[in-house]
Amino acid sequence: MITRPGTGSRIEKMKFCRTVYEKVLNNFKGLVCHCINLNRKEIIIHDIDDYGADTKTNYY
């Protein structure tokens, strides 16, 4: 679930469905991050994988 400002001062909850998911993740593409723990090295987001943190992956 994600939230967005509603009418007045209410916060509305929205389901994180496919269209919202794509819109949010596409907004991250091209984002430049300055990582403090990497001495402010620039990291540019080019692509976002479609698996979550709960998905087991093996990198070799």
33 and 45 Cβ atoms separated by less than 8 Å: yes
Query: How confident is the model over 2-60, as pLDDT tens digits?
Result: 566 666 767 776 666 777 777 777 777 777 777 777 787 887 777 666 666 666 665 54
Structure tokens at 26: 């596409």
Structure tokens at 32: 């430049």
- Give the pLDDT of residue 60: 47
Task: State residue 13 phi and psi, 5-degree precision.
Answer: -95, 140
Q: How many CB atoms lie within 10 A of CB 7?
A: 6
CA nearest to 47, candidates 59, 35, 30, 33: 30
- Give the pLDDT of residue 18: 73
